[in-house]
Structures are given as structure tokens and as C-alpha cells.
Amino acid sequence: MNIEIKARDLIAEGWHEGKRLGATLRRARQMEAEGVERATLLVQLEEEFPKQLIVALPRHEPAPLAEAIEAEGDEETANVTAVRRRMHEMLRMPVVQRGAIMPDACPTGQAPATIPVGGAIAAENAIIPGAHSADICCSMFATFFPANHPTTEMMDHLQKVTHFGPGGRPRGDQWTSAVLGEPVWDNPYLGGLRSRAQDFLGTQGDGNHFSYIGRVDFTDTQRAALEAAGYNDLAKSIERRDGAFNVLVTHHGSRGLGADVYKRGLKAAKKWCRENAKDIPDAAAWLPYDSPEGASYWEALQYVGRWTRENHALLHDALLRRLGQRALVQIGNEHNFVWKRGDTFLHGKGATPAWKDAEGRPLLGLIPLNMAREILLVLGADNDDYLSFCPHGAGRNRSRTATIAPYKNDDGELDPGRVKQVLDETTAGLDIRWFNGGADLSESPLGYKDATKVKAQIDQFGLAHVVGEIQPRGCIMAGEADEQPWQRARRLKRARHKAERQDAAQELDQT
């Protein structure tokens, strides 16, 4: 009688559950069908499919971490300690070779190995979805155009063309582009997402994404530095325009499209690590680049990069059309992404690439600080000590909740008078607009670290050279939606209950 060997028989003999078990079982059944007797079969099988799996394990000691950050005071010191801890957890992964933190580093999550904002790592043959984070391709994009429009005119048009808030554009108001027609939808990480890619075109989302109008006046030294670095078109344009430009700068990521690709990538990475590694935190799960899953994920990421750049470009074109202008120069950079340099996969979560391009030119990058400060145009210093990254912003010292806490009244509600006052003080002279109507204090300059100190540390650690400063004129962010009637009713009800409780307590005291 031919009793078919089962997976549980192999497990009982010491083989492990997982992807390889299927292949082992198929081979065992083939031998069984050929009439090989069970004992011989098991010996032969051990030779072909050894029970001892080569399992990747975390290292005891973390790989080296380079810190381009100087903490001042208790709050910053505690932040750097938290950042270091998460980085050390990530740096214990066997595929991670080195790490660096930037001057804007700040913690983002409690889960082990969650890469902090301002963190960068170098990995070998591995893509770690958690290390580029869910907002794949969060990026900056700038268009330089003639400086002959008043700020209000530019801001009015900008407010009409852009879109903030959750979700995509409503049906009937959707945008289109050739990027949607690319033959990528068979990729397992992109399959079924074409309509999502369409819905989210022309949108910027919320949080700290923004549309910023600024003005730059390049000095002759800055023009010469750009020319010496090989940016001849920009240098010529500066010469022709006497150094003066209006600039639109946008900041956003890959929206719902990227979020879905990330979910699929993370799921695949967790599965791969479950089958081939042990004790790997989810935030550090990886896909080997040379596996079919890894290669497809890499291709999907490249598409998400093209989609996001196109999204920026469409928004910029829409503003320029309304202004009757054309782009003189456009530049942009991702700061949440994975880049392949030789055999190394550089991951950045809030880190600006600052190495040299294929032609040997230092990369140009844009570093925003806050809505009331200049956006820095930098030439990367290619400082290998810090994995050739520079910061991507100013970073936060406090959570959003802690930032707004001092502006709440006794009922735990934001005090509109104090919010207005502090916004007027911190953004005086600027045209600040909140797309959804209400101000979001946690996104005002109050939310971010001291920009001057971060800027000084770029220089101190030799990360990049500033070759232009785009001075703020106006900024649009998502902001908070105006209070809905039901929200107002709930707030008033809570306040009433609180007052009643206090009255009751007072009465008790008096009796």
C-alpha cells in the first residue's frame, strides 16, 4: 500500500515549517512514488533539503552609528537618547551595515527598531520597508519662475489649484497624466492600484505637507558655487534674472498609492523574515533585493517615485498656467526612500541625499525649516562619515499634543484668542492659509526645533553647503477642519458636565 508521506511526518522528523517545507514534501512524495523505502527516503531527503535552516539572527552588538547631532538641554538630550535606542535596535539586523542620524533627528514610534525621523541606514542586498516608512517618497519640489507677481495673487491661485485633506480628489475633479498609463500594473505591489493612483493625483494630504511661496535673491558667490558644481543652467538663469526668482516649493509624499504599496511591502517582508530569520522586529523586516519579491518591490518603489514627482510637477504646472508663467528651473529630492549605490541600499526616513550624481555633481537638495523660515538650497558635501546624507528639516522636540498643550484652557479646549495671538507673533508679515479653514498650531513654527541651530549643525558636521535661501512669503497647509455642529455640541456638553461636577463637589465641601 502506498501511504503518502505528510508534512506532519516531516515535521516530526525535524524539518521546519515554512516555505521550504512544500518543496521538501514534493521531493519526498516523488521518491515515495518511485518506491523508495521510508528510511532511505529520509536519509536522501536530509542530503537534499537539510533540516538545519540557515536562519538570519539579530547581532548581539549594533553596527556603527554616526551621530551628526548636538543636543542642548534635557528635552533634546532625552530625544537623542530615544533616537539612539531605536537606531541601535535597527543596527542589530544582520543586513544593516551602518547608520547615521541627522541634526533634525527625533523619535517617531515606540515599537522596537522603528527608524526615527532623521535616521539613515546602509543595508546589504536588503530593502527594509519600515526604514523608508509608510509615506514613501515624501519629497520636496521647487520651481523657480520670474519674480514679478505679488504674493497675494500667487497665493490666491495656489489655493485654487492645490488640494489638502484626507482622500483623493472627488469624481469629476480628477487629474490625469501619462504616468497612469505606464505598464506597471502587473507588478504584485501595484496590481489593482491604478484607480488609487488616479484619485490621489493633484493632492497633497495633511500633517506637515505644504505649498510654500518664497523669493530667492542669489548672491554672486552662490551663483559661482552652483556653476563650479556643474549646475550651469541654473547659474545662467541666475545671471539672466539678476539672481531674483519667485519660487513655489511643495512637500508631500505618494499619498494613498504609496501607503498601499508600503502595506504590501511590509507584509511580504514580515513573511520573508518569518520563514528565513528569527527575532526580527516588524519595523526592521526586509526583503532581499535578489529575491523575486524584493526585485518586484524595488520596481514598485521606482514607480511610486515617478508618480510622486509627477504629482509635484502637475501642481506646479497648474499654478504656472494661472500665472501665465513658465518654469525657469525645477529641482526636487526625496527624503523618505531607498537608494541603490553600488551594492548598498541606502534608506532614509527624513534624510536628504547629499552624495554626487552619476556625472560627479554634488546633489542639490531642499531643506525646509518651518513656514516662517527660509528653505535652504544645498549642495551635498558627500560626507561618507554620515552616509552622505544631510537633514530634511528642523525636526521636532515635542509631540504635537505637547506643542499645543500650553494653549488650551481649563476645559482642555484650545483657546482661540491665544492661538491667534501666537500665530500672529510667529508668522508676522506672511500669508499663511489653512486649506480646511482652521489653524493647526502643531504645524506652526512652534512645532519645530530651533531652525538656526539645525542650520548651524549642517555646517558643523560638514553635511552640505548652503547655496541659496528661499525666503518665505506665504504657505498653505491642511490645517484643521472647522468645528462641525456635532463637535461643538459634544464640546459644550462635556464642559457643562464638568461644571456640574465641580458645583456638586463644592456643595459637598460646604456641608
Ligand X SMILES: Nc1nc2c(ncn2[C@@H]2O[C@H](COP(=O)(O)O)[C@@H](O)[C@H]2O)c(=O)[nH]1
Footprint (CB under 6 A) of ligand X, residues 180-209: 208
313 part of the interface to ligand X, by CB under 6 A? no
Cell digits for 199? 484619485
Tell me whether residue 432 or residue 467 sits nearer to ligand X (CB atom).
Answer: 432
Minimum CB–partner distance for residue 372 and ligand X (Å): 8
Within 8 A by CB and 6+ apart from 306, the residues are 179, 182
> Counting contacts by CB under 6 A, is residue 210 touching ligand X?
yes
Residue 395 marked in a binding site: yes
| Position of minimal CB gap to Mn ion | 138
Distance in Å, CB of 313 to Mn ion, minimum: 17
Q: Does residue number 387 form part of the binding site for ligand X (CB under 6 A)?
A: no
Give the 3-state secondary structure of 35-71. Answer: CCCHHHHHHHHHHHCCCCCCCECCCCCCCCEEECCCC
232 has binding-site annotation? no
Q: Is 115 in the site for Mn ion (CB under 5 A)?
A: no
Q: Which residue's CB is nearer to Mn ion, number 380 or number 391?
A: 391
Q: How far is the CB of 308 from ligand X (least distance, A)?
A: 13
Nearer to ligand X, 84 or 473 (CB): 473
| Site track 76-105 with ligand X (rule: CB under 6 A), x = hit | ----------------------------x-
Query: Using CB distances below 5 to 8 A depending on partner kind, what does residue 103 bind out of ligand X, Mn ion, none?
Result: none
Query: Strands across the sheet with 65-67, in order?
Result: 65-67, 96-106, 117-124, 344-349, 336-341
Q: Which of 74, 142, 64, 68 is nearest to 104 (CA)?
A: 68
Closest separation in Å from C-beta 334 to Mn ion: 9
392 in a labelled binding site: yes
User: 19-33 vs 38-48: helix axis angle to the nearest 10?
Assistant: 140
Q: How far is the CB of 395 from ligand X (least distance, A)?
A: 5
**Scanning residues 175 to 204, which ones bind Mn ion (CB under 5 A)?**
none
Pair 213, 246: CB distance under 8 Å: yes
Q: Tell me the C-alpha distance between 146 and 158, whole Å.
A: 16
222 touching ligand X, by CB under 6 A: no
Size of the site for Mn ion (CB under 5 A): 1
Cα 53 from Cα 11, distance rounded (Å) = 13
Under the binding rule (CB under 6 A), the answer on residue 392 touching ligand X is yes
Residue 140 neighbours by CB distance under 10 Å: 23
Could you tell me the smallest distance in angstroms from the CB atom of residue 308 to Mn ion? 11
Instruction: Report the C-alpha gap between 274 and 21 in whole angstroms.
Output: 14
Among the listed residues 393, 468, 474, 479, the single contact to ligand X using CB under 6 A: 393
Cell of 430: 506672511
Asked if 296 contacts 188 with a C-beta cutoff of 8 angstroms, the reply is yes
Catalytic pick among 157, 392, 465, 497: 392
3-class SS of residue 139: strand
Complex with Mn ion: residue 138 or 378, whichever CB lies closer: 138
Which one, 260 or 443, has the nearer CB to ligand X? 443
Asked if 316 is an active-site residue, the reply is no
Partner that binds at residue 394, options Mn ion, ligand X, none, CB closer than 5 to 8 Å by kind: ligand X
Side-chain half-sphere of 34: how many Cα atoms within 13 Å?
9
Stretch of 144-152, 255-263, 279-287, 370-378 contacting ligand X, by CB under 6 A: 370-378
Give yes or no for residue 448 binding ligand X (CB under 6 A).
yes
Cell, residue 76: 533634546
Write out the three cell numbers for 320.
504656472
For residues 128-187, which are near ligand X according to CB under 6 A? 138
- Taking residues 132 to 171 in sequence order and writing x for each that binds Mn ion by CB under 5 A, - otherwise, the string is ------x---------------------------------
Q: Is 229 in the site for ligand X (CB under 6 A)?
A: no
Distance CA 225, CA 212 (A): 25
Measured between alpha carbons, how far is 270 from 19 in angstroms, rounded to an integer? 13
Distance CA 368, CA 125 (A): 32
Instruction: Tell me if 209 is assigned to a ligand binding site.
Output: yes
Q: Which is nearer to Mn ion, 296 or 352 (CB)?
A: 352
Helix axes 19-33, 255-276, angle to 10 degrees: 50
477 binds ligand X (CB under 6 A): yes
Q: Is 93 annotated as a binding residue?
A: no
**Which lies closer to ligand X via its Cβ, residue 269 or residue 432?**
432
Nearer to ligand X, 84 or 349 (CB): 349
Find, among 212, 220, 464, 239, the residue nearest to 329 by Cα. 239
Q: Which of the 8 DSSP states describes residue 365?
A: E
CB of 371 to ligand X, least distance (A): 3
Residue 251 is labelled as binding a ligand: yes
CB atoms within 10 A of CB 89: 19
442 binds ligand X (CB under 6 A): no
* Number of residue whose CB is nearest ligand X: 393
The per-residue b/e assignment along 1-33, b for 16 or more CB within 10 angstroms, e otherwise, is eeeebeeeebeeeebeeeeebeebbeebeebbe
- For strand 210-217 and strand 336-341, is the pairing parallel, antiparallel, or unpaired? unpaired
Known binding positions: 209, 251, 368-371, 392-395
Known binding positions for GMP: 368-371, 392-395
Instruction: List residues binding Mn ion (CB under 5 A).
Output: 138
Known binding positions for Mn(2+): 209, 251
Instruction: List residues binding ligand X (CB under 6 A).
Output: 104, 117, 138, 208, 210, 212, 335, 350, 368-371, 375, 392-395, 443, 448, 475, 477
Residues with a known catalytic role: 392
